[in-house]
Amino acid sequence: MKKAAAYLFSLIVILTLMLPAFLVRSCQAPQQQESSAISVKLYDTQAHALYRLTLEDYLVGVVAAEMPANFHLEALKAQAVAARTFTVKRLKCFGGKGSKYHPNADLSCDPGEGQAWLGEKELRTKWGMRYGTNLARIRQAVTETASLLLTYEGKPIEAIYHSTCGGVTEAAVEVWGKDYPYLRSVVCGADGHSPKYRQTYRFTIQEAAAKLKVKAFQGKAITASTQGSGILKMVGQSNTGRAQQIIFAGKKITAEQFRTALGLNSPRIRYNVSGKNLVITTIGYGHGVGLCQYGCDGWAQKGYSFSRILQHYYPGTTLVKIANQIP
Ligand SMILES: [Zn+2]
């Protein structure tokens, strides 16, 4: 009986160790594939449907959803490469963990789970008369970078991107506590044309307290001891001015919780407390890590190629063809 149990245990261990290799092999010898032959299983959270698309067709919907179609072509191309790299890391047949929305899906169109995606119907509504022209531009960006991936030490990178960094990008370690050699803080300086570069919000302290669920303030008058600049403090500020934590009236929360609760564009804030009012100015839009989309457009307008832009935001990485990259 003991022998049988030991045999069963060994079998389970061997199967567990071999499973990832088996899964990769079941993905049709990817080293011989062009990226057009790689498929993506996408879950549409609006239509509640699972689609199977080629990688390149899927990327058209991602670039169209993630970047304004009138951005410079080199910016659209940089976005296409970042999105392709981001996607490949998440495909289940290459070891990705898949989408939480459907057991068979690699990704979903929920931007909160990774990256946005829009289908033909949504794009016709979004673009109207410019549908044909815009789609042609996006397709050109995807086609002209077909099969290109960003790698670091021979492996596809975590090609994180965001809308507007606000002048300088954030190191991944400052935001998520995990360090990546190619996701460091770099000077951007080309995203000043973003409509969300800087935004000002005004709250009464009572309003902010209610949103942040600071009970001591709810329905009570503010006392002298709770007024003044001491009511809000930033803890563990990075070089870019992003706080790790924020203390509001004695309650300590993460900068991300603070941003979400108050509906702010970014956790990089400047603030001013005046009497019963709190004025907050946010810098940038999004987490600030990796490629800055508006900065990307800014650099492209200055004459930078997509590959040079990618080198800037993901330092130390190399562009390779997907067929030579996937093990
Ligand atoms: Zn930027």
- The pLDDT tens digits for 154-203 are 999 999 999 999 999 999 998 888 999 999 999 999 999 999 999 999 99
Q: Kindly state the average pLDDT of the residues 34-62.
A: 90
Residue 197 Cα to ligand 1 midpoint, Å, equals 9
Residue 31 Cα to ligand 1 midpoint, Å, equals 35
Give the residue, 35 or 192, on which the prediction is more confident.
Answer: 192
Cβ–Cβ contacts within 10 Å for residue 50, how many? 16
Residue 320 Cα to ligand 1 midpoint, Å, equals 25
Q: Kindly report the backbone phi and psi dihedral angles of residue 293, in degrees, each rounded to the nearest multiple of 5, phi listed first.
A: -65, -45
Residue 225 Cα to ligand 1 midpoint, Å, equals 39
Query: Residue ranges of the domains in the chain?
Result: 33-192+289-325, 198-283
List residues, by chain if needed, whose CB lies under 5 Å from ion ligand 1: 165, 188, 191, 292, 295
Q: Would you state the pLDDT for residue 232?
A: 86
Strands (E), the chain: 39-44, 49-54, 107-108, 148-152, 155-156, 161-162, 198-204, 232-235, 245-248, 251-254, 269-274, 277-283, 291-292, 318-321
Residue 276 Cα to ligand 1 midpoint, Å, equals 34
Q: Measured between alpha carbons, how far is 294 from 165 in angstroms, rounded to an integer?
A: 8
Helix orientation angle between 131-144 and 120-127, rounded to the nearest 10 degrees: 120
- Entry field: residues in the chain: 327
Tokens of 133: 């022209």
Q: What percent of the chain has pLDDT over 90?
A: 62
Residue 313 Cα to ligand 1 midpoint, Å, equals 9
- The pLDDT tens digits for 254-268 are 888 999 999 999 988
Residue 302 Cα to ligand 1 midpoint, Å, equals 14
Residue position matching structure tokens 């970042």 = 82
303 secondary structure, DSSP code? T
Residue 213 Cα to ligand 1 midpoint, Å, equals 32
Give the residue, 276 or 45, on which the prediction is more confident.
Answer: 45
Residue 160 Cα to ligand 1 midpoint, Å, equals 13
**pLDDT > 60? residue 224:** no
Mode of pairing for the β-strands spanning 198-204 and 232-235 = unpaired
Residue 60 Cα to ligand 1 midpoint, Å, equals 23
Residue 218 Cα to ligand 1 midpoint, Å, equals 38
Q: Measured between alpha carbons, how far is 116 from 293 in angstroms, rounded to an integer?
A: 14
Residue 293 Cα to ligand 1 midpoint, Å, equals 7
Residue 185 Cα to ligand 1 midpoint, Å, equals 11
Residue 40 Cα to ligand 1 midpoint, Å, equals 30
- The pLDDT tens digits for 105-144 are 999 999 888 899 999 999 999 999 999 999 999 999 999 9
**pLDDT > 70? residue 277:** yes
Q: Kindly state the average pLDDT of the residues 239-261.
A: 87
- The pLDDT tens digits for 278-298 are 999 999 999 899 999 999 999
Residue 227 Cα to ligand 1 midpoint, Å, equals 35
Tokens of 164: 């507007």
